[in-house]
Amino acid sequence: MISSSSMSVLRRPPVRRSARELATMLAATLLSIAPIARADEPSPTAESPARGPGLSQESARIDLTKDTRGTGGEELDAPAPEAPPPPPYKKTLVLDSTVGAIGFLGEFGKVAPPGPWMHVQLGYELLRWLMLYGEGELAFTDTSNRQAAPNTRTFPLLGFGGGARFTIRFTERVGVYAQGGFGMLKADIATNALGILGFRDAESLGVYVGGRLGVEWFQINRHFALGLNAGMRTAQGFAKLGAGTDTPLMLDGGASLRYAF
């Protein structure tokens, strides 16, 4: 009869074999899982999804100086753009207005002091250097050089005429001109108000002949030009009656604005 101790001895080997087999199976399982776990880890050279496709570690670096550089291939040393060429010259109407002063020489200057003077001129440029024009003017003066207040009389001078202007342009922006003309001029005053002073003919239209010199500064806009001018003329209607040596000269000048249509 087999004792209980003998039975326990007979059962131990199978238990040992089962534990050994279990250990072997566990080791095999761990060895099979390890490659799979390593395959799931990203390699150092693999692309990072957070950086976007096609971007390497070098290209993912932030450039802190890009805002201080020019954009679009801008060249800091590039020369400044040149001004556009002036439009071609063409014949046109020209309106010229002047504001200035007028003064008188001769015997009439002993009666009337200098006064404000306004002049307007409309011409047509037949050539780049030649213009025919018509003109009108308005001036104011008084008799304060001869008559004291309250007998002083203030009166306007009215005139109109025409002539020709010759222009030389040194550059596209600067030119000078000379013009000659003739017309008629009178003092618009009560009858015999100047007659009692010896200038009766000045109360009616009389002929004047004169010339003018000027300089013009043409603007980039071809329609406009600024200028200065001065003129001198003789007006026989303002000669004093009975004074055979009187030379009735008038001097005028001012700043002008030209508009070419």
d(CA 144, CA 108): 12
The partner residues of 224 in beta bridges, in order of sequence, read 259
Give counts: helices (H), strands (E), the chain: 1, 8
Pairing of strands 130-142, 115-127: antiparallel
Q: Which residue has the tokens 């030649």?
A: 130
Paired tokens of 95: 């309106």
Mean pLDDT of 105-121: 97
The DSSP code sequence of 81-142 is: PPPPPPPPP---EEEEEEEEEEEE-SGGGGT---EEEEEEEEEEEEETTEEEEEEEEEEEEE
Beta-strand runs (E) in the chain: 93-104, 115-127, 130-142, 154-169, 174-187, 206-218, 224-235, 249-260
For residue 239, report the phi and psi dihedrals to the nearest 5 degrees. Answer: -80, 145
Q: How does pLDDT run across 144-154, given as a tens digit for each residue?
A: 999 998 999 99
Sequence spans of domains, the chain: 93-260
DSSP 8-state assignment for residue 261 = -
Separation between Cα atoms, residue 175 and residue 177, nearest integer Å: 7
pLDDT digits 0-9 by tens, 68-100: 555 555 555 667 777 666 666 678 999 999 999
* Predicted confidence (pLDDT) at residue 241 exceeds the cutoff of 60: yes
Q: Calculate Rg over the CA atoms of the chain.
A: 53
Query: How many Cβ atoms sit within 10 Å of the Cβ of residue 119?
Result: 23
Q: Which CATH number fits domain 93-260: 1.10.10.410, 3.40.50.300, 1.10.10.10, 2.40.160.20?
A: 2.40.160.20
CA-CA distance, 45 to 43, in Å (whole number)? 5
Task: Kindly indicate the confidence band of residue 243, based on its pLDDT and cuts at 50, 70 and 90.
Answer: confident
State which amino acid sits at residue 76. L
Of 229, 230, 218, 199, nearest to 258 by C-alpha is 218
Query: Which of 67-71, 154-158, 209-213, 217-221 is predicted least confidently?
Result: 67-71
Calculate mean pLDDT across residues 3-19.
51
More confident residue, 97 or 44: 97
Tens digits of per-residue pLDDT, 175-190? 999 999 999 999 999 9
